[in-house]
Structure 1
Amino acid sequence: MGFSFEKLSVYKRAVDFAGKIYKITKDFPANEIYGITSQIRRASISVPSNIAEGSGRYHKKDFVQFLRIARSSIYECIPLLEIALKENYIKKSIFDELTTECNELSMMVNGLIRSLKADKS
């Protein structure tokens, strides 16, 4: 691990979340490859990507903005998971696990935002 963001637990958790999304979407129907499969994959990888990119910014307010984008990408995954559930692409247990993961990730991102905003250095 050579970059500071790689030490952040929220970054590690976001990478794991994206991996889970990639794993479950492998079983989605082929006709969804340019639909929900692509959309939820892009949303999920946006989370760790924005955490990483934001950490490389010089100003904390820029990092906070990238964290807000990461949080929005987490929220974007929720309706996509709901649609996947309604279309029977995923089981209820997977839906519950991943929406819980989204909630926990969101809280972690919010915590980092609060921490950065409180740190006046």
Structure 2
Amino acid sequence: MDKNYLQLNQIKAYTNAFHLSNLIWNLISSWDNFSKYSIGQQFVNAVDSISANIAEGFGRYHKKDKIKFYYYSLGSIKECLDWNEKAKVRKLINEEDYIKIFDTLSALPKEVYSLIKFTNEKLKV
């Protein structure tokens, strides 16, 4: 019997967060040193933790443990919204990049909540 198991790269929240983290990495890598080491590092850490927490939760066995990490990713999304605003106000990113980042960050909570709902409904343990 061949079962098809859900893979991490099939989770929309994960793939969108992963691509966003690479977009932000590429933007920040061109900033001046002061901006990179003050706002930049924290923005990169926060955005990287979105997909990392989804991945860690996905790798956990128990339902409650999985969901705990998915909730951590929601906190990182909120943190990234703050860093995105600061980067815009301080003229470190242009309006087009700001909107692209904002739109992705705004869509991610719904995707994470869908993942939480799926986990709650489909897993027994």
Is TM (by shorter chain) over 0.5? yes
Deviation at residue 55 of structure 1 after TM alignment: 1.0
> Corresponding residue for 2:3?
none
Matched, 1:34 2:44: no
Counterpart Cα distance in 2 of 1:57 and 1:99: 29
Deviation at residue 54 of structure 1 after TM alignment: 0.8
> Corresponding residue for 1:116?
119
Which of 58, 79, 86 is the aligned partner of 1:76?
Answer: 79
Counterpart Cα distance in 1 of 2:82 and 2:12: 25
For structure 1, the 5+ residue unaligned runs are none
What does residue range 49-60 of structure 1 map to in structure 2 within 5 Å? Answer: 49-60=52-63
Deviation at residue 9 of structure 1 after TM alignment: 2.1
Deviation at residue 35 of structure 1 after TM alignment: 1.2
Contact 1:47 1:73 in 2 (8 A): yes
Contact 2:39 2:83 in 1 (8 A): yes
What does residue range 59-70 of structure 1 map to in structure 2 within 5 Å? Answer: 59-70=62-73
What is the number of equivalent residue pairs in this alignment? 119
> TM-score, normalised on structure 2?
0.87
> Corresponding residue for 1:87?
90
The worse-fitting range, judged by mean Cα deviation, of 27-36 and 45-54 is 27-36
> Percent same amino acid at aligned positions?
27
Q: Secondary structure at the match of 2:92?
A: coil
Counterpart Cα distance in 2 of 1:120 and 1:15: 24
